[in-house]
Structure 1
Amino acid sequence: MTIKTFSLGGDLTINRLGFGAMRLAANTLEGPPRDPENGIAVLRRSVELGVNHIDTAGFYRRGAVRANELIRRALSPYRDDLVIATKIGPLPTPEGVPSGQATPGQLRGLVEAELRSLGLDRLDLVYLRVGGTTGPGGESVAERFAVLAELRAEGLIQHLGVSNVDAVQFAEARKIAPVAAVQNRHTGDLGLLTACEEAGIAYVPYFPLGGGVSPLESERLDKVAVRLGATATQVHLASLLATSPSMLAIPGTGSLDHLEENLAASRLSLSDEDLSDLRG
C-alpha cells in the first residue's frame, strides 16, 4: 500500500498529494485572469478534502488576481497542519510573467514580500527557483542559496528547497544548508530522484499532469483506468506517487470538478499488474 504522507524536513508531516496554486490566477501565465472568488472556493474545498501542502509563488498572478492573496483570504488564519511552500528567484513583469532572475541582494526583499502577501511570520518552505524556462544547469546557486540560508537562520524560513536544478547544483546547495525538497520540471532524472530518496528529501515535479503524454502512454493509462473504474488523470497521479516514497504531487486547477477528480487519486491502489502495464 502506498504511504500517504511524507515528513518534510523531518518535522512537517504532509499528505503526498497536495495542491499547486499556479492556475488560481489564470489558466496559463499569459491567459486572462480568473474569478478570484472561484479560486477561494477551490482552496477551501482542497483543505476540506485533506490537502495540507499548498505550493505557490509570488509570481503566480495575472492582473489584480494573485495566488498568494487568494490563499490568505481563503485559508487565514491557517490550520496548524497546513504547509505552504513558495518559490523565489524569478522577477515577474507587471503582468506577472517571470522574466529575469533576482540578484542575491534582492532575495531578502522577495522573501519579505512573500511573508506579507501570505500573512505569515515564517515561511514553511522556500525554494530557490533557478534559471528561466530552459532546463537546469549551467550556473552556480551558491551565493543566492547562502542568502536564503541566512534568512533561515534568522527564523524567517523553516525549510529550504531548490527548483529547476541538476545534480551539481543540488550538491552545491546541500553544502551550504539542508535541502528539504527539490522541485523540477520532469521526473526523468532518476539519479537525482534516488539521491533525494536516500536522503529523505522530497522530490516535487511541477506540471505533474503536463509534459506531453504520448499516445502510447495514454493508451496504457486508459487501459489501467478502465480496469480500476478511474480516470486516466487519477491513474497518472497514482502512478507518480508509486514511483518513490519521496515523490510528492501538486496538481493545480481552478476548477472544483477537476480538484475533486485529482484528489480522488489518493484513494487508488495500483497493483503490480497495473504498474507493469503502465511501464510497458
Structure 2
Amino acid sequence: MSKKSTRVDLACQALRQAIIEQALPPGTKLPEDELGIRFGMSRTLVREVLAQLQGEGLVDAPPRRTATTAKPTLDQAREIFETRKMLEREVVRLVIGRWQPQFGADLEGHVRAEEAARQAGDARVSIRLAGEFHTRLGGMAGNTLLRRYLSEVVSRCSLILALYGRPHSADCAVNEHREIVAALRAGNAEAATKIMDHHIGGVEQRALLDSGRDAGFDLGAVLSRYAGQLDAGSTKVARISKPKVRGKR
C-alpha cells in the first residue's frame, strides 16, 4: 500500500469514526483547508477522502461547494432502516448456518467491551461499539458484499440518530446484544430474528423522533482529537488524549 493510499485510508477512518460517534453532527461543514491542516494532507487527497465518505453516504460533497456531513431526510432515514432490517435478518440466517464456537466467544467479548464502556459512562465509545457489534456479526455471515452493505447502513443509522434521535441507550444495546448471542448459540433462527427485529425497531424508534440536535461545537478540536498521530506506515489511527470540546455560543 502506498503512502498516499494509506494516508487517505487513515483520514477516512478517523472522520468515519468521528461521524459514527456523533462528534461531527449532521450538516457540519468540512472545509478542505481545515481538513488538510488537521490531517497533514493536500487538498487533492482531502477530496479523495471526501469522495470516499460520500460514497458511503456519510458526507455530502456537491461540486464547487463546501462538503458537509450528510443530513438525510426523514423519508431517506426510514428507507435506510427498512434496508437495515432486511440485511440484519439475512445475516442472522447465514450466521446460524455457519456457526462456530469461536463466533460466540468473539461476540461475547465484544459485548463485555460494550458493558465496560457503559459502566465508564463513555457515550461515544458506547455508540461506536453498539454499531460494531452488528458489523462484526455481519463479518461472520461469510458474504463480503453483505458485510459491506450492512456496515454502510449501520454507519448511516448512527448519523440518523445524531440528527433526529434521542440519546443512545447503552443498557438496551448491551442487554439485547446478549439475547441475540444466546439465541445464535442455541441455533434458534426464529428467536434470533425476532430479537433482532425488536432491537432494530427500538433503534429506529429512538432515531426518528424529528427532534434535531444542537450542532454547536469546535470543529478544529474534534478533528484534532480524531486525527491523532497519522503515521503513513501505520494501519490504525492513534487517538490522542480526550480533551473536552466546548460548544460555541
Query: Normalising to structure 1: TM-score of the pair?
Result: 0.26
Higher normalized contact order (CA 8 Å, seq sep 6+, divided by chain length) = 2
Which has more strand, going by share of residues? 1
Which has more helix, going by share of residues? 2
